[in-house]
Amino acid sequence: MTDRLDLVIRAARAILPGDGEVPRAIGVRGGKVVAIAGLDEPLEASSTIVLEDDEVLLPGLVDSHVHVNEPGHTDWEGFETATRAAAAGGITTIIDMPLNSIPVTVSTGALAAKRAAAAGKCHIDVGLLGGLIPGSAGELVALHEAGVFGFKCFLTDSGLKEFPPVDVEEMRDALGVLSELGSPLFVHAEIDRASAGRPRLSSRRYAGYLASRPRGFENLAIAEVIEAARQTGGHAHVCHLSSSDALAMIQSAHLDGVNLSVETCPHYLTFCAEEIADGATYFKCGPPIREAENREKLWEGLRSGLIDLVVADHSPSTPTLKTAGDGDFGAAWGGIASVQLTLPAMWTQARERGLGLSDVSRWMSESPAKLVNLRSKGGIVEGHDADFCVLAPEESFVVKSEALYHKNPGTPYEDRRLFGVVRCTILRGERVTGDRPLGCLLLRGEA
């Protein structure tokens, strides 16, 4: 090359789509990957990073399911802390969910408020989803044109009065609109048609909480999602799958050509119900963490491609909310704080099952970027943003909440040993240090 590069990264182990783990030199100019060459090929640059023998160069992770909560619930989380934590975990792009903030992102006015709240605070790149609640379908086109990357709805109570669930007909109608726009609908797929007839759960027993949200709630909802996608041709995306029972339906839908994608989360692939102590409400999430045999079937779903991607579903709250009722699973907020830990959590479990970093990169970089049509993210590819994670995969650490950058760092991973230490995160060719925000607010069609 005749023009001098800004940066060259030389990695004896780099993860490239289609190639797996290979030795490569990566050239960067203007924040973009402009050259991928042999490890020792002479490339002139203003700066050079040579990875250590124990380090692997991954594409920056893309997490398409994060609850930042700002504005409105910034005592739970915020753009500065969430993106700093994500960067520490090797993530270079997040997609923020439309709920847990006030206002919820169901109008262009609310979208403007969220963008104003995020401005100048993001350590990594951030895109936003719009929301679908009863009565908001008329805003879908305007929000799409304003640059959101997709939409989110619930088929069950979200836990927030500002974001009520839609019924199956509203979901189907929205999918019809979104099919014309080419925009995905993220669905929290649980339906509890008997909830009105039951008393509110009040129990310190994890078994009681698990029984209150059985697999059947997910299975029924996913069946409805599949049929709505089949009827409309819209892209339906099942959020945070926890019921392995649904894998057979998902496989059938794929064989039928239904436009369906599926995610799961590290907590469903790491923990199991049998090991959760009574009163341990930091493990509470919805849908719940299920049994060990269910966990292993989810891993089979990942191996086979029935599950497309893995995301954090980072949803923290204050300690007061998380431990409300002195360990009462009915009273405590449901959500896992984990965006800083998703990569090591996933790698720890994947390596135990004989899976490689190429698999993890596909599930956590390439597939999430594809889901929301981030054309310049998700892989080490010429023309893509120069977003990287430098990982020491065989180095381990013990999780301590005081080392996490989440605003409220309590986590079910506390005291757990994980493999994979993120040594460095690079956004568009620049190291993310936390000293100053480097991230951009992304718009659909421009990223």
Residue 187 scores a pLDDT above 50: yes
Residue 151 lies in a domain: yes
Residue 424 lies in a domain: no
Q: What total of structural domains would you count in the chain?
A: 2
What pLDDT digit, counting tens, does each position of 240-264 carry? 999 999 999 999 999 999 999 999 9
Give me the count of residues in the chain: 447
Task: Let me know whether 42 and 91 are in one domain.
Answer: no
Residue 2 scores a pLDDT above 60: no
Mean pLDDT, the chain, rounded, equals: 96
Q: Which pLDDT value is given to residue 153?
A: 98
> Are the beta carbons of 232 and 179 closer than 8 angstroms?
yes
From the number of C-beta atoms within 10 Å of its C-beta (0-12, 13-18, 19+), residue 198 rates as: exposed
Task: Let me know whether 65 and 47 are in one domain.
Answer: no
* Least confident stretch, 1-10, 165-174, 208-217, 275-284: 1-10
| Rounded to 5°, angle at Cα 443 from 436 and 254 | 120
Share of the chain above pLDDT 70, in %: 98
* Least confident stretch, 100-104, 202-206, 414-418: 202-206
Confidence of residue 363 (pLDDT cuts 50, 70, 90): very high
Taking the whole predicted model, whether its pTM rises above 0.85 is answered as yes
Residue 252 lies in a domain: yes
Residue 430 lies in a domain: no
Ordered DSSP codes for 283-325: G--SSPP--HHHHHHHHHHHHHTSS-EE---B----HHHHTHH
Residue 44 lies in a domain: yes
Residue 19 scores a pLDDT above 50: yes
Share of the chain above pLDDT 90, in %: 95
Task: Let me know whether 97 and 209 are in one domain.
Answer: yes
Task: Let me know whether 260 and 316 are in one domain.
Answer: yes
Task: Let me know whether 30 and 164 are in one domain.
Answer: no
Confidence of residue 193 (pLDDT cuts 50, 70, 90): confident
CATH assignment at residue 332: 3.20.20.140
Residue 129 scores a pLDDT above 90: yes
Q: Which pLDDT value is given to residue 197?
A: 56
Confidence of residue 201 (pLDDT cuts 50, 70, 90): confident
Task: Let me know whether 19 and 166 are in one domain.
Answer: no
Give the number of other Cβ atoms within 10 Å of residue 211's Cβ: 12
Compute φ and ψ for 282, nearest 5 degrees. -65, -15
Task: Let me know whether 22 and 150 are in one domain.
Answer: no
Q: Which pLDDT value is given to residue 194?
A: 58
Task: Let me know whether 137 and 254 are in one domain.
Answer: yes
Domain that holds residue 41: 5-51
Residue 380 lies in a domain: no
Residue 91 lies in a domain: yes
Task: Let me know whether 47 and 148 are in one domain.
Answer: no
Residue 208 scores a pLDDT above 70: yes
Task: Let me know whether 42 and 65 are in one domain.
Answer: no
CA dist., res. 385 & res. 17, Å (int): 15
Taking residues 40-61, what's their average pLDDT? 97
Confidence of residue 1 (pLDDT cuts 50, 70, 90): very low
Confidence of residue 207 (pLDDT cuts 50, 70, 90): very high
> Are the beta carbons of 288 and 210 closer than 8 angstroms?
yes
Nearby residues of 4 by Cβ (< 8 Å), 6 or more positions away: 44, 45, 46
Residue 313 lies in a domain: yes
Task: Let me know whether 129 and 160 are in one domain.
Answer: yes
Residue 74 scores a pLDDT above 60: yes
Task: Let me know whether 275 and 293 are in one domain.
Answer: yes
